[in-house]
Amino acid sequence: MKALRLRLVPSLGTVLLAAVATANVTLWLVARPPGQPTGRYLGELLGAEAVLLLSCALVLATILPTIERAFGGLDRVAVWHRRAATVAVLLLVPHLLLATSAADRYATQVGSGFGVVALLGLGVLSVWALAPRLRATRRPGLVRRLAGIGYERWLSVHRLSGLFVIAAVAHGALVAPALHASMLLRVTYLAVGGTGVAAYAYRELLARFVFPAHDYTVSDVRRPNETTTEVSLEPVREPLAFVPGQFVVLSFGGTSGWQRHPFSVTSAPYDRRLDVSIKAVGDYTHDLHDKLRRGTPAKVAGPFGGFDYRRGGHDQIWIAGGIGITPFMSWIRSLDGSFDRSVDFYYSVRRRADALYADEIEAAARLHPTLRTNVVVTEREGLLTAEQAANGRPRGTDVSVFMCGPPPMMTAFAEGFRALGMPASQVRWEQFDIR
Ligand SMILES: Cc1cc2nc3c(=O)[nH]c(=O)nc-3n(C[C@H](O)[C@H](O)[C@H](O)COP(=O)(O)OP(=O)(O)OC[C@H]3O[C@@H](n4cnc5c(N)ncnc54)[C@H](O)[C@@H]3O)c2cc1C
């Protein structure tokens, strides 16, 4: 099939990220104080760049709505958070080699100690964060074991990353001779590091007050199949306002002890009731499937994310895989006379019995003829491909793709659409696995 139209539009967020990273290097190159040996100065430059990228990663981790908008989706924020942090940690290796290549009279035990703590802490946390991806390439031993540790435990430890960034900032401020020699470099460095630390403090201490949880009560629990729990929640006071496609962070009272997990809303915003559909994939979600009862108190924080088809053009492809149907249900339940997109909607499930909401989706398609739905039962028809989903669209077609489903499926589609010449900026996906 011919390539779809190539329209490379980097998001505002990536442009800003590239701009601050480049500006920092440029500043260090033009503001080099006299008397700094080249090797050591280069090492300090790399250390300062690592601190800048780590600060950016912490800013992205706040997932503030403006950041999510600037990057064009939470999936992209997660990707750039990971990329910024990974590059930063890799830079620490040449930083260490070069920064120690000449004597440093500021290298006190305390200052160097902060550096060792930061290097070891960030190194271990990065390998742990990337372990599931590294495991895919069959890395043995420790990486395999780290990848096997549960998400909750990983997240609790990962949230300590900010403390290691604080150690890194303190290390640079204490031991870097260039920062002692140049006021401009020192002020910039502290402003950059301070921004990262402030973002971390916001995320860990203040975010819960900025997005306070709403009190709800479970009003209904349905179990349409052996792995899915559909939950309806009634607000105790005012209902949460959200845009279709957004997700909330939900915690239920009772034996599960108020663990916080993200779930996409499936109901429409005009409904006072809030619905979610939960697939049992791990301990917590299995527990909900077995034990969640009507009357259980719940806390709903958010809303978060911006998975919204109205941000795409006229011609669209929607792809849902399994439980990835949830954000699409909120869209479909919110459709009214103003719906003006032309959509090929593919809902891929393993067995026909897994196709939750199939009747409701077909009823919506009858009401809105420009929404063309296809339920793909892979056990019978094989896996849907990007080429099939593109449905013979000729070269030059300007099409927006929205997808949500299991990570391997999303990766396969992203690669498939790229092979068809479609730029990543036209393909949005809601990521249920944000590690
Ligand atoms: C934006 C978003 C929207 C989601 N919407 C839905 C939905 O509508 N329906 C649905 O069934 N699932 C949804 N999920 C996935 C859901 O959050 C996880 O399946 C659930 O948290 C698994 O918890 P567990 O302890 O049972 O499983 P585990 O085995 O502990 O975790 C399985 C995977 O779920 C993810 N996960 C686990 N705990 C968390 C957490 N606290 N925060 C973030 N991710 C976590 C991790 O990727 C982990 O690898 C969504 C996830 C995200 C990020």
Residue 362 alpha carbon to ligand 1 centre in Å: 28
Q: Is the CB of 212 under 6 A from ligand 1?
A: no
From first CA to last CA, the distance across the chain in angstroms is 34
Q: Is the CB of 277 under 6 A from ligand 1?
A: yes
Span 6-24, average pLDDT: 84
Whether the CB-CB separation of 336 and 244 falls below 8 Å is answered with no
Counting from 1 in the atom list of ligand 1, the atom nearest the Cα of 279 is 11
Q: Is the CB of 328 under 6 A from ligand 1?
A: no
Span 115-140, average pLDDT: 83
Instruction: Name the closest-CA residue to atom 15, ligand 1.
Output: 432
Whether the CB-CB separation of 402 and 317 falls below 8 Å is answered with yes
Residue 1: which pLDDT band, with cuts at 50, 70 and 90? very low
Residue 433 alpha carbon to ligand 1 centre in Å: 7
Residue 396 has pLDDT above 80, yes or no: no
Per-residue confidence (pLDDT) for residue 257, from 0 to 100: 64
Span 269-290, average pLDDT: 93
Interval 307-352: pLDDT, tens: 899 989 999 999 999 999 999 999 999 999 899 999 999 999 999 8
Instruction: Name the closest-CA residue to atom 28, ligand 1.
Output: 282
Residue 195 alpha carbon to ligand 1 centre in Å: 29
Residue 262 alpha carbon to ligand 1 centre in Å: 6
Instruction: Name the closest-CA residue to atom 3, ligand 1.
Output: 263
Residue 8: which pLDDT band, with cuts at 50, 70 and 90? very low
Q: Is the CB of 313 under 6 A from ligand 1?
A: no
Per-residue confidence (pLDDT) for residue 306, from 0 to 100: 83
Residue 138: which pLDDT band, with cuts at 50, 70 and 90? low
C-alpha R_g of the chain: 24
The answer to whether the predicted template modeling score (pTM) of the entire model surpasses 0.85 is no
Span 181-210, average pLDDT: 95
285, 329, 402, 429, best to mutate for ligand 1 pocket (most atoms within 8 Å of CB): 285
Residue 221 alpha carbon to ligand 1 centre in Å: 19
Give dist(CA 302, CA 246) in Å, integer: 9
Residue 149 alpha carbon to ligand 1 centre in Å: 15
Per-residue confidence (pLDDT) for residue 9, from 0 to 100: 56
Q: Is the CB of 326 under 6 A from ligand 1?
A: yes
Instruction: Name the closest-CA residue to atom 49, ligand 1.
Output: 151
Residue 389 alpha carbon to ligand 1 centre in Å: 27
Residue 2 has pLDDT above 60, yes or no: no
Span 260-288, average pLDDT: 93
Counting from 1 in the atom list of ligand 1, the atom nearest the Cα of 434 is 53
Please name the residues in contact with 362: beta carbons below 8 A apart, sequence gap of 6 or more.
373
Q: Is the CB of 24 under 6 A from ligand 1?
A: no
Stretch among 16-30, 47-61, 83-97, 207-221 having the lowest mean pLDDT: 207-221
Residue 255 has pLDDT above 50, yes or no: yes
pLDDT averaged over every residue in the chain: 90
Per-residue confidence (pLDDT) for residue 422, from 0 to 100: 82
Give me the sign of the Cα torsion angle 399, 400, 406, 411: positive
Residue 298 alpha carbon to ligand 1 centre in Å: 17
Span 390-403, average pLDDT: 83
Per-residue confidence (pLDDT) for residue 4, from 0 to 100: 44
Whether the CB-CB separation of 164 and 199 falls below 8 Å is answered with no
Please name the residues in contact with 142: beta carbons below 8 A apart, sequence gap of 6 or more.
127
Give dist(CA 396, CA 387) in Å, integer: 15
